[in-house]
A = this chain, B = another copy of it.
Amino acid sequence: MVEDLKIQAQKAKKAAQQLATTSTQKKNDFLTVLAQCLEEEQSRIESENQKDVKIAVENHMKPGFIDRLILNKKRIQGMADGLRQVAILSDPVGEVISGWKRPNGLVVTKVRVPLGVLAIIYEARPNVTIDSIGLGIKSGNALILRGSSSTLNSNRFLTHLARESLRQCSLPEDSVQLIESTSHDDIAQLLAMREYIDVAIPRGGAGLIQNVVIHSQVPVIETGVGNCHVYVDKDADLGMAEKIVVNAKTQRPSVCNAAETLLIHQDIARVFLPQIVTTLKQAGVEIRGCEQACQILPDLISATEEDWKTEYLDLILAVKVVKNLNEAIEHINTYGTRHSESIITENYTNARDFLDKIDAAAVYVNASTRFTDGEQFGLGAEIGISTQKLHARGPMGLQELTTTKYIIYGTGQIRQS
């Protein structure tokens, strides 16, 4: 098995070398061909997917799990549309980012090139297979996909279609490979192959990500956990604050850019807290308040230390009254996961302070944290939201799937000292 994996990785590296110099047109052709292929093979995709769904039902998986697993006509169309959107995006490969001439006549240029081989490790969402293939191939990278065993039938057929489409476009079919084994040892092996794999990208829950980050010898781009805050300053427009808090918490509570804790300046807490709690409760949100919040509204559930650390991904909101902006900043920098943080204020200096001092991928004034997203930022499709600081931070689009190389044009220069 380990030997198989090594062979797969070697093939991927070889494919990556060819992809690196493939024209934009050819990569776009592939995306279009695959999109059409998904549409044409819709019923077959559904029937392969049903095998996975059947097993999940037999194994008594939760409804949410099964929902994420299902591929229906609408979702298959969504995947095809996604590929066509990626085809429209501009190709990052080959961009000359900067360049200059040195006094000795050397012309130094910094050029964008693909990363090489991406290992994508993900959970039971078969749409991630197609999303990753679209963004990966467009940015000139080969992919080794390791999905969940619960989606093996779906993933096997989807990657089969991708490989067929690659062949049809005269691109190396080993640009897309699925690890079919479902042994956990394989992940460890994959994450040790520094010689062949350039980057590992885990896509899924906190447990999966943590596991990859801790065990990988290959460089990792960490995506996703979001313990996000909205801070309502004393100088906030409270009507705006209410709309933003409700949106950040309830518009889609299960995603990483949803808010998990609301911080309220003490000077406005007596006015704003009852108002927002009423609105949130009507929207079905459970509130867990700090001591001071519970004094204002005695029927609130008391928050514990654990609440400040929790990414609920659910209709639950922790609420803390803070004595000033600094306490809000301190709280966020202590408990936040450096994802998305927002201040609601009309005070210019407080806004500046918050933007400067909060350590996060995305920091907002007077807007919902829910906007942290490649599409919403205008970057096009994204492969995830990086919460680490190396290489990529925030929504990762095509550009974040590239690296650079220096190309230097000489006329016989040698170094003197």
Contact B371 A405 (CB under 8 A): no
Q: Which segment, of A67-75, A166-174, A270-278, A389-397, faces chain B?
A: A389-397
A244 within 8 A of B: yes
Contact B363 A408 (CB under 8 A): yes
Contact B371 A408 (CB under 8 A): yes
Contact A364 B408 (CB under 8 A): yes
In terms of DSSP, what is the predominant structure of the interface of chain A? mixed
Contact A366 B251 (CB under 8 A): no
- A222 (CB) vs chain B CBs: closest residue: B219
Contact A409 B365 (CB under 8 A): yes
Contact B355 A390 (CB under 8 A): no
A350-380 CB mask vs B (1 if < 8 Å, else 0) is: 0000011101111111111011100011100
A55 within 8 A of B: no
Contact A405 B414 (CB under 8 A): no
A175-218 CB mask vs B (1 if < 8 Å, else 0) is: 00000000000000000001000110000000000000110010
- A368 (CB) vs chain B CBs: closest residue: B414
A363 to B110, CA, bound (A): 10
Contact B406 A394 (CB under 8 A): yes
Q: Find A367's partner among B20, B360, B390, B412 (CB 8 Å cutoff).
A: B412
A56 to B150, CA, bound (A): 59
- A364 (CB) vs chain B CBs: closest residue: B408
- CB contacts (< 8 Å) of A405 on chain B: these are 359-363, 393-394
Q: Find A213's partner among B217, B237, B404, B407 (CB 8 Å cutoff).
A: B217
Number of copies: 2
- CB contacts (< 8 Å) of A17 on chain B: these are 333, 357, 359
A292 to B322, CA, bound (A): 77
Q: Which segment, of A34-42, A58-66, A100-108, A125-133, faces chain B?
A: A100-108
A7-24 CB mask vs B (1 if < 8 Å, else 0) is: 000000000010011000
Interface residues of A in 109-138 (CB under 8 A from B): 115-116
- CB contacts (< 8 Å) of A408 on chain B: these are 362-365, 367, 371
- CB contacts (< 8 Å) of A367 on chain B: these are 106, 408-414
Given contacts A17-B357, A405-B362, A405-B393, contact A219 B412 (CB under 8 A): no
A405 to B361, CA, bound (A): 5
A310 within 8 A of B: no
Given contacts A217-B213, A378-B102, A406-B394, contact A356 B412 (CB under 8 A): no
Contact A414 B244 (CB under 8 A): yes
A interface list, Cβ under 8 A from B: 17, 20-21, 100, 102, 106, 108, 115-116, 194, 198-199, 213-214, 217, 219-221, 237, 240, 243-244, 246-248, 251, 333, 355-357, 359-368, 370-372, 376-378, 388-391, 393-394, 403-415
